[in-house]
A and B are shown apart, each in its own frame.
Chain A
Amino acid sequence: KNEVEQSPQNLTAQEGEFITINCSYSVGISALHWLQQHPGGGIVSLFMLSSGKKKHGRLIATINIQEKHSSLHITASHPRDSAVYICAVRSVWGSSSGTYKYIFGTGTRLKVLA
């Protein structure tokens, strides 16, 4: 069983729809990232959060530490939002030098149709 599970794996939406992508994890974490991977492969960090909720433009990310669950919401979706969205969790303990391990989910492939 993967330590980080995402759902759905694939999602097709019509432009303008409200989209929710879910991430559940089974390990202790110090933070959770939502990443966007473009069709060309490049990865961009969207959010890093350890509690509550963050908003950036049309994107909203929430996390519930007790339930070990996070959601990424996209409001008024647009074809340019089409990408793979990846949830990655950061380990609780860093190394003595301050680096952390990250565990990645398998990603949710989103396609928004015009």
Chain B
Amino acid sequence: EPEVTQTPSHQVTQMGQEVILRCVPISNHLYFYWYRQILGQKVEFLVSFYNNEISEKSEIFDDQFSVERPDGSNFTLKIRSTKLEDSAMYFCASSEAGLGTKTENTIYFGEGSWLTVV
């Protein structure tokens, strides 16, 4: 079973520090996503990425956040200057989704990276 892998599984960082969360999507997938889940709250969409550019982003994804696919296999989420409220589980996901309503394109999630900002 192909899987999305994320590193680190858990990171503790000081407020104001930069953090990079890494993801290796499924190899033949072309569409990539980051979501976050603050403890006790629902999962929230952050950003989607295709063809080396952001397709959509939510209001949460402000200038402190950036995404990159530096080498064709990794997909990274960078938080430039972390705040306490950035503490959350961050999920990477990937899919083969194409244009139109192709309902069989399911989305695969990684195990998540738990970020604690102190």
Q: Is B31 an interface residue (CB 8 A)?
A: yes
CB-based nearest B residue for A105: B42
- A41 near B103 with CB under 8 A, answer no
B105's nearest neighbour on chain A, judged by CB, is: A48
**Are A48 and B48 in touch, CB under 8 angstroms?**
no
* B48 contacts across to A, CB distance below 8 A: 95, 99-101
Q: Which of B45, B51, B89, B103 contacts A102 (CB 8 A)?
A: B45
- Given known contacts A99-B33, A99-B48, A106-B42, is B56 in contact with A44 (CB within 8 Å)? no
Interchain CB contact under 8 A, A107 and B89? no
Q: Mark A91-114, 1 if CB is under 8 A from B, else 0.
A: 010111111111111110000000
By a CB distance below 8 angstroms, the chain B residues around A106 are: 41-42
Within 8 A of B (CB), among A18-39: 30-31, 33, 35
> Given A41-B112, A42-B109, A42-B111, does the pair A101, B101 have CB atoms closer than 8 Å?
no
**Closest beta carbon of chain A to B67's beta carbon, Å:** 12
Are the CB atoms of B33 and A48 closer together than 8 Å?
no
Please, how many angstroms separate the alpha-carbon atoms of A95 and B45 in the complex?
14
Q: Give Cα A106 to B107, complex, Å.
A: 18
Asked whether, in the complex, the Cβ of A104 is within 8 Å of the Cβ of B44, the reply is yes
* B56 partner residues in chain A, CB cutoff 8 A: 95, 99, 101
A-B contacts, 14 listed (Cβ < 8 Å)? A41-B37, A42-B112, A43-B43, A45-B106, A86-B43, A95-B55, A99-B49, A99-B55, A100-B48, A101-B48, A101-B58, A102-B107, A106-B42, A107-B42
Contacts of A41 in B (CB 8 A): 37, 89, 111-112, 114
- A40: interface (CB < 8 Å): yes
Smallest CB gap from B97: residue in A:
A98
Q: B4-47 interface mask toward A, CB cutoff 8 Å, 1 = contact, 0 = none? A: 00000000000000000000000000010101010001111100
Closest to A103 in B: B45
Shortest C-beta distance, B21 to chain A (Å), equals: 14
Contacts of B112 in A (CB 8 A): 41-43
User: In the complex, are the beta carbons of B43 and A44 less than 8 A apart?
Assistant: no
